[in-house]
Amino acid sequence: MAGLLKRGLTEEGHQVFVAHDGKEGYEMARSAEFDVIVLDVMLPGMDGLSIARHLREAQNRTPVLMLTARDTAASVVAGLDAGADDYLTKPFSFDIFLARVRAVSRRGAIPRPVLLQVADLRLDPSTRRVTRGEQPVSLTPREFSLLELLMRNHGRVITRDTILESVWGFDSDVAGNTIEAFVRLLRLKVDTSEPKLIHTVRGVGYAMRES
């Protein structure tokens, strides 16, 4: 797979460097600057989740696209919590892979704060503690993942498909009204005061913003 992806990316005009085990990949990522890092979760020597986590701890903010055969919601959350910017499950088409690479590369190496905050709403990924003003907000694991996704993308519209893939898993058969139900529950817990932060973008998805 590494060879096929390298060949496809090279044909698209990218310069590609390949590491075939985790330790080599980690050292390569530490010693040079890249526009995007593509990580497989299952790597010999050091797994992709550990690489992403160590890079983020070292303040390396290069966008990371995580590849894995695990399509459960827990696996997606683990990848995002480790520091991945996007998550793609196998098997996938090269066109989708290329689109994801373009998407994460456009984001650039934007510093990601340890504590996420929008207005007076605060979320700490390390402790999984959420507060609005001075009041603690109790969330289920899936509600927390949904809120974190929205807050990490503050000001940007997140499509329903992206929410489905990130929170429920790429191959999930969750219906659209389930996402709407979770957003409604999240609003009841989070948007208890002004300004209202979770906004619906009709026909597209949802956005976290102050107005």
pTM of the predicted model as reported, rounded to 2 decimal places: 0.49
* Shared-domain flag, residues 8 and 72: yes
Residue 35, token pair as written in the block: 């526009």
Q: Is the dihedral of CA 161, 111, 138, 186 positive or negative?
A: negative
> What's the pLDDT score for residue 172?
55
Before 136, cis peptide (omega within 30)? no
* Domain final position from 107, 142, 159: 107
> What's the pLDDT score for residue 99?
87
* Domain final position from 107, 125, 155: 107
3-state secondary structure of 134: coil
Q: How far is it, in rounded angstroms, from Cα 9 to Cα 16?
A: 7
* Shared-domain flag, residues 171 and 204: yes
- Rounded to the nearest 5 percent, the helix, strand and coil shares of the chain are 45, 20, 40
What is the CATH number for 133? Answer: 1.10.10.10
* Shared-domain flag, residues 32 and 73: yes
* Domain final position from 107, 141, 165: 107
106 in Cβ contact with 156 (< 8 Å)? no
* Shared-domain flag, residues 201 and 121: yes
> Position 174: which residue type?
V
Task: List per-residue pLDDT tens for the chain, 211 residues long.
Answer: 888 888 888 888 888 889 889 889 898 888 778 889 998 888 888 888 888 888 887 778 888 888 887 666 666 677 677 778 888 888 888 888 888 888 888 766 555 556 899 999 999 887 889 999 999 999 998 899 899 989 988 898 988 888 887 787 654 566 668 889 999 999 999 999 999 999 999 989 999 999 7
* Shared-domain flag, residues 129 and 96: no
Q: Which of 72, 64, 25 is nearest to 46 (CA)?
A: 25
Q: How far is it, in rounded angstroms, from Cα 83 to Cα 53?
A: 6
Q: Which of 14, 1, 52 is nearest to 30 (CA)?
A: 52
> What's the pLDDT score for residue 54?
86
Domain region containing 140:
116-208
In terms of DSSP H, where are the helices of the chain?
Answer: 2-11, 22-31, 48-57, 73-82, 94-107, 141-152, 160-163, 176-190
Q: What is the tally of structural domains in the chain?
A: 2
* Shared-domain flag, residues 14 and 97: yes
